[in-house]
A and B are shown apart, each in its own frame.
Chain A
């Protein structure tokens, strides 16, 4: 690598690359983690550039590549990109909706060495699932896709994003995962960034529903030990401590957008004052070590109180910077999802209040939608 810099030795090497190959997607989920301002096809990186990025990632120490989007199989070169991962020894994880062209490309992906498939399921009941995903006839396609994954002998993970529109189906997601032969199930409560932040009032479940869903998962983990691994992500707003966003800013994860911007996490662009570097202008190693966006919140020097003197500061790394900006109006503040934040009570009250109201309609994810970024107006401070 050409990115040997004076401070590089002190910076841990990234283990995961989230390759957002495209923002195009047949689904329109109202909690999509993509930015509100979606990249168009004409601005996407070409095949050769992605292959160079993957080569640089492998040399930098990346082990896992998450081929994501949007819908990654919407790209014509998804097989070539996956093959490059295999040749470099990178573990390839296809994060897919399973609709559109996904099924048609699965055999070829298997043949070039794809390691793992993570399939999103929006609901268990087809009508409900298709309402959430905003695409008719999506559910049968997903079921057919899942069957093919396990028939090939590829490990399958189901990913279910949980919110008030499907929280009653948690038990059903577990049964579905067993029925489809999945080895893992992610029961991931919605994280309220990006499109989910816009749709928060339509998505926020109440505390009793959240608690019930956790009990169901814990019982199933016991019952299905050795057969199905269930990962549970609880909703921030009801948590005591925040999550270490992406394992800590600039510590584990490197994220490349469809047009080649390199981010510490997929939502980082909501922090508009950050300067992101681009893979067409810098090597990945240089960006990881030196780009202003990565150095801004890496480590603990940037922290304010109560994070600065907190025992947990190297556990959760202050939580999520994007959420701090959205809710506290300052990206360097303690994540208000943390019970030690002075704003935490307000966040909790907001969640309770929204969950108690009749949910508004979804604002579906659309490329070119004109939606005002909500990160300043309703900050709590």
Chain B
């Protein structure tokens, strides 16, 4: 990966910022560091992840969701003002619900079940990446140990979440056949909850960060929280996208899933980089001399192929993985193989959906 991360700007101004300037500075942190900028999220929203990669995300993110009320209870425990607690405790209610079967954690479990997990496996947190756990636990410790201002400021990533959520919901519904509107019910709720929570927290920070030092603490707290989220996606990318190093005891595809009721025909479904694609019997590429172009012949249809498609299909031999095909194309065209890989996967998954390519 050669993704260029924005260099953090100096936030060491000694001057006291006006409340408006402080808000602008906080929003600027989100614009540069919020995890919607992470390559993993781009892949997620654009439909470039395999079903198993989406599962890894849903499973790990459960740990974050499950610990949010613990985090908020720690914040609550530090509030000496009842009126503040009355507002903050709503966050715990939102996540835990008022009764079994209700609340944000429950809705996240529904999402995990929607992508095929058994509920008990998800709740056990057995397959969670240790990097996910470290990040989330660092967040709980942070709000317990730092000032109340910093604890509240660290929650301000909610200012940035409505955008990412609407992008995520529409992207996932469009791009993944296994994602339904019901599966994504969690996000529907958050669309209204997050802005309400963020408005309150932002107002608190603007009123209480009354010195340059306090303002810098608030900004640092929000930066820390962005890193908590970013690091979780780094870990997912490293384990499940590239290089695909899954740590010992972390979830591996096939584990913790409900036995699929409708058996998937062998060789079908979305491909990921590690899969080996092949053209099944009855699908073949040939050069059409009459029309002076390559075509892919398939049952009852003919696909016209451009040069890129021909280059990819020429490398499909039933033994070479998508990643290896991208590597070879990267050498041939002197381009980043991981960038090529995304395009190759999109093309191959399109052919797989039309049932003319298998693995």
Contacts and interface: CB of A to CB of B under 8 A. Distances in A.
B302 interface: yes
Instruction: Identify whether the interface residues of A are mostly helix, strand, loop, or mixed.
Output: loop
Nearest to B302: A63
A33 interface: no
Interface string B57-98: 000000000000000000000000000000000000000000
A248 to B, nearest CB: 16
A226 B269 contact: yes
Contact of B355 (A13, A60, A183): A183
B281 A93 contact: no
B283 interface: yes
Interface stretch (A152-160, A197-205, A291-299, A373-381): A152-160
B299 A93 contact: yes
Interface in B241-272: 264-265, 268-270
Contact of B291 (A61, A155, A157): A61
Given A15-B302, A89-B286, A225-B353, A63 B269 contact: no
B352 interface: yes
B300 A225 contact: no
Contacts of A184: 299-300, 355
B15 interface: no
Interface in A345-360: none
A229 B288 CA distance: 26
A97 B205 CA distance: 76
A222 interface: yes
Nearest to B281: A153
A227 B265 contact: yes
Contacts of B177: 222, 225-226
A155 B283 contact: yes
Contacts of B269: 226
A61 B355 CA distance: 25
Contacts of A115: 281-282, 284, 297, 299
A155 B281 contact: yes
A59 B282 CA distance: 21
B305 to A, nearest CB: 13
B268 A157 contact: no
B207 interface: no
Interface of A: 13, 15, 60-61, 63-64, 89, 91, 93, 115-116, 118, 153-155, 157, 178, 181, 183-184, 222, 225-229, 231
Given A13-B290, A60-B290, A118-B299, 15 more contacts: A61-B290, A64-B297, A64-B302, A93-B299, A115-B297, A115-B299, A153-B280, A153-B281, A154-B282, A178-B265, A181-B265, A225-B177, A226-B270, A227-B264, A231-B300
23 contacts: A13-B290, A15-B302, A64-B297, A64-B302, A115-B284, A116-B299, A116-B300, A153-B280, A153-B281, A154-B282, A155-B280, A155-B281, A155-B283, A183-B355, A184-B300, A225-B177, A225-B353, A226-B177, A226-B270, A227-B264, A227-B355, A228-B355, A231-B300
